[in-house]
Structure 1
């Protein structure tokens, strides 16, 4: 049974059946009823590959990632490129675009300028009113929108691909509390931007656990550094110089090389616990050396593959497999690196 059979039974064009099957807008309600009745009458089960062939073109999915020197985002881009190669034979095309995601207006403009007719977009998103409006406009136009790494839950995005960032922040606090032990002192926290939902959620979870379970530790006001190594190093040096009783640093975003440089330059590696995010070549090396005490990781390869699967499934009206698409929090010490 094919789409052509459904079109003949319903008395409509093949293009109309394709729009109904794929949940696209612009089809009259009575026509949708006729097509669905024909599908039920014929017992039609959509074949994703056949559906793509009938469309006469590939699915066009756009991936919007941040500009800058964040090593994890660079690794994520590499994983998307590898995923793109694997999906070409399935008539799924992934195009990668880099935007300054710390700039809400620039990110919203990039979303608004996406060409009409694209099938879906996955974006590392800033929780900003203009970005929310741009996501909603895409969703209203029938585009499948996923948020990636950092969510915008008040938008009409279809799905979020990433870890539970509240849990990640709580995990960082528990690790620091256990590593520091009974010592009293201050804990510094660095974020890329508190306009990024993932960093806000990590901050909330981190402060919640430290204040409730480790009264010997005082969390200093969070400092923002845009995930840039030079800015992160300057912030870290300031923390170390201003607070001789600093016992730990948690960097909730990128720029880990900046914290490492500050710790090594001030000779504080042995007495300041450092918990960071993402296993990269640089953080791996310093985890082995002992400059980094623990890493909280999300698997970039899993995220890229999951994004492609979810975009395709939602475009074709197929269910998502929750267990397959759940992005886990990994904790790495120097003893258990993959």
Structure 2
């Protein structure tokens, strides 16, 4: 997007030039290459990386209703002393990535940063943002949710497909030989982590638990009231419902609704993110399993990965894959 504006051409034309499409007029291709070279020179003129004593890193979350992302935001703020120790000057942003116009404007806003740590949504213009940053040597580290086909420098977070497979295995083991339907609830089809969890979960049920039929319910509300209504609708539509897997937020509202209706005793409920509320619901048997991740640790590793790329540190890609933690009633408060 930045290159297109500098060259006075469309984003599609920039893409064709970068792919060395011979159908592009030489004069147009020259303008694109000149714009790219100018942006690279501007960044190099700042003395990065060897002459900088600190690095400006933008931490960017999508502007969506998500308790988990609110939790991530708090952990970014609480990591200020860690960032200072590692010469990172963090700034925090929320962007409406569902809007192509807002994303394009945002790419201009963060053009002067040394690196981006980003929770992306799966839109073509978000991939374009990452590509534009990469083209001017600004590494983009995706965190918690990935866009593996993009030009991002690295991904830091749990293996979400494995997390989904773990949830599927636990669901099958809890239900044993029972017959019935299991609902997979996802709050956003644009978050790659939830898609990966859904795929992993369904794979295990199809491979090892043929007694269970699974159905997907994407884009349901994460707020407690909306999630509770979703649970009631599921029970009405699927009398044979025996399990619910929540790939994102909203599990607390579902647990409360199932308890109030008296239906929890015949259902297994599995989800993500260990909070004070979900810990309490685990203890009360309103939730059976919570899968969790080290949010602050992942935020720290993402910041370090970004400055490792800036410093050309060997092994910058050797980022640890965080473990998925499993919480049950017995270790809910461990």
TM-score, length basis structure 2: 0.80
Task: Decide which of 41, 63, 86 is 1:26's aligned counterpart.
Answer: 41
| Inter-CA distance 226–242: structure 2 relative to 1 (3 Å threshold) | closer
Check conservation: 1:68, 1:228, Cα contact below 8 A.
no
Q: Which ranges in structure 1 are unaligned for 5 or more consecutive residues? A: 1-23, 28-47
Partner of 1:213: 208
Task: Decide which of 84, 93, 98 is 1:97's aligned counterpart.
Answer: 93
Q: Residues 104-140 of structure 1, C-alpha deviation per residue, up to 9 Å, x if partnerless?
A: 5366336413333210111111121111111100111
Partner of 2:71: 75
In the alignment, structure 1 residue 85 sits paired with structure 2 residue 100: no
| Inter-CA distance 299–109: structure 2 relative to 1 (3 Å threshold) | same
2-structure distance, mates of 1:219, 1:107: 37
Larger Rg: 1
TM-score, length basis structure 1: 0.79
SS class of match (2:93): strand
* Cα displacement (A) at 1:209: 0.8
2-structure distance, mates of 1:290, 1:58: 48
Q: Residues 148-203 of structure 1, C-alpha deviation per residue, up to 9 Å, x if partnerless?
A: 11111111000011111111111111111011111111101100122221111111
* Cα displacement (A) at 1:293: 0.3
Partner of 2:167: 172
Task: Decide which of 273, 281, 295 is 2:276's aligned counterpart.
Answer: 281
Check conservation: 1:63, 1:121, Cα contact below 8 A.
yes
Q: Which ranges in structure 2 are unaligned for 5 or more consecutive residues? A: 1-38, 43-48
Task: Decide which of 287, 295, 299 is 1:292's aligned counterpart.
Answer: 287
* Length, aligned pairs only: 290
| C-alpha RMSD of the superposition | 2.3
2-structure distance, mates of 1:202, 1:332: 17
In the alignment, structure 1 residue 58 sits paired with structure 2 residue 54: yes
After alignment, is 92-101 or 234-243 more displaced? Answer: 92-101
